[in-house]
Amino acid sequence: MMVPDKSVVLQSVLTCPACGFAKEETMPTDICQFFYTCSNCGTRLRPKPGDCCVYCSYGSEKCPSKQIEDRSQSA
Ligand SMILES: [Zn+2]
């Protein structure tokens, strides 16, 4: 189920673990973004073990599919 609704947050602030640079990005709703290159230092980020995408590991919000998943489990 990848249908985003109003309660799904699409803006996430990604913080680079290498340099601490934070940038707001809009998350894609159709794919999990696996790689992200820091626009400040150029470090290529990958998800931590167990995370599906860089937003789950380094973002202020989890990715849309994870938000939907969490909600359906707690409901
Ligand atoms: Zn960086």
Q: Does residue 65 fall inside a structural domain?
A: yes
CA distance 22 to 39: 9
CA distance 43 to 30: 24
22 CA from centroid of ligand 1 (Å):
8
Residue 4 has pLDDT above 70, yes or no: no
Q: Are 63 and 27 in contact (CB under 8 A)?
A: yes
Tell me how many domains the chain contains. Answer: 1
Q: Does residue 1 fall inside a structural domain?
A: no
pLDDT at 31: 85
61 CA from centroid of ligand 1 (Å):
18
Query: pTM for the whole thing?
Result: 0.83
71 CA from centroid of ligand 1 (Å):
31
Q: Does residue 3 fall inside a structural domain?
A: no
Residue pLDDT, tens place only, 9-64: 999 999 999 999 999 999 998 888 999 999 999 999 999 999 999 999 999 999 99
73 CA from centroid of ligand 1 (Å):
34
pLDDT at 70: 87
User: How are the residues of the chain apportioned to helix, strand and coil, as percentages rounded to the nearest 5?
Assistant: 20, 20, 60
Q: Does residue 5 fall inside a structural domain?
A: no
